[in-house]
Amino acid sequence: MKTIIEFKNVTKSFGTQKVLDDVSCKIQEGKTTVILGPSGTGKSVFFKLLVGLLKPDSGSIFVSGKDITKMSEKDLMETRKKFGMLFQDGALFDSLNVADNIAFPLRQHTKKSNAEIDKIVSHKLAQVGLPTVHHKLPSELSGGMRKRVGFARAIALDPDIVLFDEPHSGLDPVMSDSIDKLILKMQHELGSTFVVISHDIAGSFQIADFMGMLYKSRLIEFGSKEYIQNSENPILKQFFSRSSEGPM
Amino acid sequence: MVSSIKLSFINFLTGLGRMNLFTQKMLITLFTTRVPLNIVLQNMYDIGIKTLPVLAAVCLFVGTNMAFVGYQIFKQFGGQDLLGVYVGLSCIREMAPILVGSIMAAKPGTDISATIATMRVKEQIDALEVMAVDPFWFLLVPRLIAFILVAPLLVIFADFFCIFAAYMTAVFQLHLNSGKFFEDMVTYLQVIDFFKGITKGFVSSLLVCIISCYFGYNSAPGPKGVSKAINTAVVLEASLIVVVNYFMTEVMYGVQ
């Protein structure tokens, strides 16, 4: 297995509050890695550091072997083209319709004709199970549909790495399950590396190859799904059992 | 009490420094990249054409009011014929640039801070960055260019609307001599006044654009963050427009 992303002793603070503390992990290429953790443990900061939106106070972050913490803004922009990201609420542009939202990265970074872009947009929408919403505005879509369109936009450029920020948040259990199935299907079809941050336990076990647990700013466990599932760590046990009693 | 004043002062200086860096980044992007023309044109339409009716309405009433007030003052010593000079000089040197700055702050300014703050809160700016699109290049600099191109034109329109309204009031309501109104105005006004007025309106509009972009871009999360961004931007713009206008008047006309 080849490592595509590596966090090496990464620490990040905001003022006096340490959000990530000495976090190290290796994320494998072509696999789905889920970072679990309760709210406010630095999961979103983990992603922002990964795409270079934030710089760590110390430590290094390698993407395809290159340290992004030492990159110039120009090189960072190039590296970001490897990424697609599904934001919590989709982060679709309100003024653009669904088709234009998905076409956006294609128009910015490729020289494809309008006909080619239209074809790709239709293909991506079909892949996420929304073949007929091209002309709708984001405000006309439900939460689940917005996530699917956000997913279609994230994979528009066929990126090497796709990031999912809380893909289950705000969704009912049925819709959450359909998003999980979509993630599994797309991972199989694209073969890209998927990194998911979530606090949805059932969904995470359904989609993950590897898992990590962030707790109180530290990555307390990281390993294969089976390793995490069978871990004797009392914090993990309490988190998985959804109990309010325990060390957490 | 002393420590609170000290903290406020430090915060003020920090904010000033941040705004300075923000403006520098906008200018570097402006001069080192090719900004998409279609977005500039769309912004010019939003900022220019959509602002024009509001500006026209305000200028027409201001011009009318200036004619009335001027007439009342000059009548006291029989100088009604000076109304054209008074209106011309006041509008072109002061009123039109201030009105353009104020309307720019009220309409496109609030629109920019609200739009960008909402995009920040809804993670759309983060999405742009993750898609390797520089938000300065895509969102902010096209608006800056649109302001730069549109502001001088709006000052010219404001000049026209103010003087036109004052002329109509003077001739048709106050029954002053039509020829005399313009004759004196042309005698006392110089071409340089016209350009100085445009410069003032341009500088005010530029301030409006930068402040609106800055507070929108750095908005705090949530609806309160958005409302605070808009509120702070408008209050600062309204205050700075008159302060900066005063200093520009001092520099342009102070020695005369």
Q: Which residue in B has a C-alpha nearest to residue A154's C-alpha?
A: B131
Token digits of residue B183: 């004759």
Q: Which residue in A has a C-alpha nearest to residue B120's C-alpha?
A: A91
CB-neighbour burial class of residue A232 (10 A; exposed 0-12, middle 13-18, buried 19+) = exposed
The CATH number of the structural domain formed by A1-82+159-248 is: 3.40.50.300
pLDDT beyond 60 at B231: yes
Give the tens place of pLDDT for each residue, B138-186. 999 999 999 999 999 999 999 999 999 999 999 999 998 888 888 888 8
Q: Taken in order A115, A121, A125, A130, is the CA torsion positive or negative?
A: negative
- Residue position matching structure tokens 């307390």: A220
Per-residue three-class SS string for chain B: CHHHHHHHHHHHHHHHHHHHHHHHHHHHHHHHCCCCHHHHHHHHHHHHHCCHHHHHHHHHHHHHHHHHHHHHHHHCCCCHHHHHHHHHHHHHHHHHHHHHHHHHHHHHHHHHHHHHHHHHHCCHHHHHHHCCCCHHHHHHHHHHHHHHHHHHHHHHHHHHHHHHHHHHHHHHHCCCCHHHHHHHHHHHCCHHHHHHHHHHHHHHHHHHHHHHHHHHHCCCCHHHHHHHHHHHHHHHHHHHHHHHHHHHHHHHHCCC
Tell how far CA A236 is from the center of its chain: 21
Inter-chain residue contact B127 with A81, CB threshold 8 Å: no
Spell out which residues of chain B touch residue A83, defining contact as CB-CB under 8 Å: 130
Spell out which residues of chain B touch residue A48, defining contact as CB-CB under 8 Å: 126
Inter-chain residue contact B132 with A88, CB threshold 8 Å: no
C-alpha span between A105 and A27 (Å, rounded): 25
Beta carbons of A89 and B122 less than 8 angstroms apart = yes
Inter-chain residue contact B126 with A81, CB threshold 8 Å: no
C-alpha span between A44 and B145 (Å, rounded): 34
pLDDT averaged over every residue in chain B? 93
Give the tens place of pLDDT for each residue, B114-140. 999 999 999 999 999 999 999 999 999
pLDDT beyond 70 at B64: yes
DSSP A42: S
SS3 A110: coil
**CATH 3.40.50.300 domain position(s) in chain A:** 1-82+159-248
Inter-chain residue contact B122 with A89, CB threshold 8 Å: yes
- Residue position matching structure tokens 């990281």: A222
Cα separation of the two ends of chain B? 45
Cα separation of the two ends of chain A? 34
C-alpha span between B49 and B43 (Å, rounded): 10
Inter-chain residue contact A108 with B132, CB threshold 8 Å: yes
Of A233-242, B217-226, B237-246, the poorest mean pLDDT is in: A233-242
Other beta carbons within 10 Å of A116: 12
Beta carbons of A237 and A231 less than 8 angstroms apart = yes
Tell how far CA A114 is from the center of its chain: 29
Tell how far CA B187 is from the center of its chain: 28
Token digits of residue B212: 């609106």
Inter-chain residue contact B130 with A80, CB threshold 8 Å: yes
Inter-chain residue contact B131 with A105, CB threshold 8 Å: yes
B9 to B2, B3, B4, B220, B233: CA distances (angstroms): 11, 10, 9, 21, 19
DSSP strand pairing (A17-28 vs A58-63): unpaired
Inter-chain residue contact B130 with A53, CB threshold 8 Å: yes
Once rounded to an integer, what is the mean pLDDT over residues B33-38?
Answer: 90
Instruction: Return the half-sphere exposure (C-beta side, CA atoms, 13 A cut-off) of residue A239.
Output: 25
| Residues of chain B in Cβ contact (below 8 Å) with chain A | 118-119, 122-124, 126-127, 129-134
| Residues of chain A in Cβ contact (below 8 Å) with chain B | 48, 51, 53, 77-78, 80-81, 83-85, 87-89, 91-94, 104-105, 108-109, 163
- CA nearest neighbour of A210 among A193, A191, A232, A189: A193
C-alpha span between B131 and A157 (Å, rounded): 10
Token digits of residue B109: 């300014």
Of A174-178, B14-18, B94-98, B115-119, the poorest mean pLDDT is in: A174-178
Spell out which residues of chain A touch residue B129, defining contact as CB-CB under 8 Å: 51, 53, 80
User: Residue B12's pLDDT is what?
Assistant: 87
Strand partners, A35: A197, A212
Spell out which residues of chain B touch residue A94, defining contact as CB-CB under 8 Å: 118, 122, 124
Q: In which residue ranges of chain A is pLDDT below 70? A: none
- Residue position matching structure tokens 């009392």: A234
pLDDT beyond 70 at B255: no
Inter-chain residue contact A48 with B126, CB threshold 8 Å: yes
SS3 A247: coil
The alpha-carbon gap from A220 to the nearest alpha carbon of chain B, in Å, equals: 28
Q: Which residue in A has a C-alpha nearest to residue B138's C-alpha?
A: A108
The alpha-carbon gap from A241 to the nearest alpha carbon of chain B, in Å, equals: 32
Residue type, B232: T
The alpha-carbon gap from B126 to the nearest alpha carbon of chain A, in Å, equals: 8
Inter-chain residue contact A80 with B127, CB threshold 8 Å: no
Once rounded to an integer, what is the mean pLDDT over residues B22-37?
Answer: 93
pLDDT beyond 80 at B89: yes
The alpha-carbon gap from A73 to the nearest alpha carbon of chain B, in Å, equals: 10
User: Residue B256's pLDDT is what?
Assistant: 54
Query: Which of B25, B130, B133, B138 best probes binding to A when mutated, by most A CB atoms within 10 angstroms?
Result: B130
Inter-chain residue contact A83 with B133, CB threshold 8 Å: no
C-alpha span between A237 and A221 (Å, rounded): 12
ipTM over 0.85: yes
User: Residue A238's pLDDT is what?
Assistant: 85
- Main-chain phi, psi angles of A128, to 5 degrees: -90, 10
- CA nearest neighbour of A146 among A181, A185, A195, A96: A96
Q: Which residue in A has a C-alpha nearest to residue B134's C-alpha?
A: A77
Dihedral of the alpha carbons of B28, B30, B34, B38, in degrees to the nearest 10: 150
Inter-chain residue contact B132 with A48, CB threshold 8 Å: no
Share of chain B above pLDDT 90, in %: 80
